[in-house]
Structure 1
């Protein structure tokens, strides 16, 4: 299936190695994920999203974009389509306002339950859905749950609220399509896989939903430790929570100085605008989210053109 990459740091950094030059960089991973690519990076708090239906490894634009990206926050994706069409509308990352999301997974039998899923998305948000993928529907389902808790355009969107909204959206998918598949090698069409990373450039959250996802918060030895003004002890040791200098997610561990750990299924890891990291463990036997009335009043103003 797809491969995803997420990067959040206290300082602007280049990600060319992770996307292009490492032995197993995202570009190389696109050989088995040939159905398009996308990169989102933030400048001045605004997301810049570049997407193509070409295969990244053979697309000069992917190399050029990856070579110029310098940002505190980056999301990237190479696609192997299971739902939707080979169009830019169905290519990740998906964007609404300051929020972007990449997804590696599948909502089982989405063609049969698509209208039921979209019915749970507030109409003020639903009208911005442009493609046909389950991934975009999941994104807007999550946005609706996020808007119940906090203004979507709040720069410092609370990480706890984001995690709760993600859980609520996942519960709806479980209600409609069944439980998450815990076998990474399960059928990519008939199984539920909800591995994703979502960010607004400051708050970032990742969920391991059946498809493998790895996390890195530190390096074995930082080559810039003697010159970097942001260097701290956390740069070279594992932390369970609190401040981190960087947080990186990747479907596959990338070769280099970073220390990688696999996330557990159902686990969520994220950082807030202060780079304070939290781990949200798997919720056992979580209740399925009840259906709510449409949120037109609560979401007043959310659907303004951006």
Structure 2
């Protein structure tokens, strides 16, 4: 499983969250407590949207070793930004650029999206539900398969369409279905959709829940969602997101405005 970050708001408030992601990936006490080692070192990637800039970056290098790119990203964190980032600890699929998050897809329904996922899914069931051929997806991860499933099944970016598509995919969850997706169409508005779900087994085990739960942070000019470990490296008024929650965000960069609503998955 992996460590994730989504943040929208003023760049200088996002910088310490990026630092926390790097540190959480280098040494994760929650992962260590489960006997799974302490690092998320199987590649990392991010999407940054800032004004006219849109940058999608992926590398198989551990995030904590990719010093030049982290420095370059930090230099861009000024003004109003939207950032999603993922540090991978591979559970399914090879360590490769193809399997490194976030994944970029364009739908024939007129929108593009970037998706990242933390957890473990039943890949074969996803393939069957989507009507894909198993051989075509033999070398990819469950998370890549999820992105392909969403691309095929999502009708639009309304809250109702998103809930329908993601609820379907959530049925394949083996451990967690923690996702962040950012959508872009021909308007100046960005949309984001976040899911926080783990199976009952994970929620009831204290060590598992410490590891898989998602946190949210909301203050003036900042909205963020992050994996639990980031809370150990950045002291703030984090709140634990209720298990089985979806968040639908409308982001208006020119107005520096974020509108979000929650729903049950």
TM over 0.5: yes
Q: Distance in 1 between matches of 2:52 and 2:159?
A: 17
Structural mapping, 1:51-90, within 5 Å = 51-70=58-77, 71-90=80-99
Q: Distance in 1 between matches of 2:84 and 2:52?
A: 14
The structure with the largest strand share of the pair is: 2
TM-aligned CA deviation for residue 162 of structure 1: 1.9
After superposition, the CA RMSD in angstroms is 2.8
Q: Distance in 1 between matches of 2:138 and 2:259?
A: 34
Q: Secondary structure at the match of 1:120?
A: helix
**Structure 1: gaps (5+ residues):** 151-156, 174-179, 181-190, 219-234, 236-244, 283-306
| TM-score, length of structure 1 as denominator length | 0.63
Partner of 2:144: 136
Q: Distance in 1 between matches of 2:54 and 2:170?
A: 25
Larger radius of gyration: 1
- Find out whether 1:158 has 2:165 as its counterpart: no
Whether the 8 Å CA contact 1:30–1:56 is kept in 2: the answer is yes
Q: Distance in 1 between matches of 2:137 and 2:105?
A: 9
- Residue in structure 1 matching 2:197, options 199, 202, 209: 209
How many aligned positions are there?
220
Structural mapping, 1:118-129, within 5 Å = 118-121=127-130
TM-aligned CA deviation for residue 271 of structure 1: 1.1
Whether the 8 Å CA contact 1:107–1:192 is kept in 2: the answer is yes
Per-residue CA deviations over 1:30-58 (Å, capped at 9, x if unaligned) read: 22101111011124577421111111112
| TM-score, length of structure 2 as denominator length | 0.72
The structure with the largest helix share of the pair is: 2
- Residue in structure 1 matching 2:241, options 249, 263, 283: 263
Change (3 A) 1:89 1:135: same
Change (3 A) 1:199 1:13: farther
- Find out whether 1:278 has 2:261 as its counterpart: yes
